[in-house]
Amino acid sequence: MELQRGIYQHYKGPLYQVFSVATHSETAEKLVVYQCLYGEYSMWVRPLSMFLETVEYNGDVLPRFKFIQAV
């Protein structure tokens, strides 16, 4: 599954930059490598399946992360 590099918005509002999809060395699970675009600009990883899932928020079903723009 391909994931476009760029800026994504979390369903609660903050922005993140996605750099790559990495592969876990032991399990081969696909992990998204991304960075907060606020605060300490910390780096994170999250399973690709979780990054792409939808969530229910205030009665609406939304993508957890919505693509905003390529970088």
All domains in the chain, ordered by first residue: 6-70 (2.30.30.320)
Looking at residue 2, what is its pLDDT?
78
Return the DSSP state at 53: -
pTM given for the model: 0.92
| Cα→Cα distances 31→36, 58, 67, Å | 16, 28, 17
- Tell me if 48 sits within 8 A of 32, measured CB to CB: yes
**Segment 3-59, tens digit of pLDDT:** 999 999 999 999 999 999 999 999 999 999 999 999 999 999 999 999 999 999 999
For CA atoms 49, 51, 55, 60, the dihedral sign is: negative
Of the candidates 26, 14, 17, 10, the residue with the CA atom closest to the CA atom of residue 44: 17
Q: Please choose, from the candidates 48, 44, 49, the residue with its C-alpha nearest in 3D space to the C-alpha of residue 34.
A: 44
Position 1 pLDDT exceeds 70: no
pLDDT at residue 21 in the model: 97
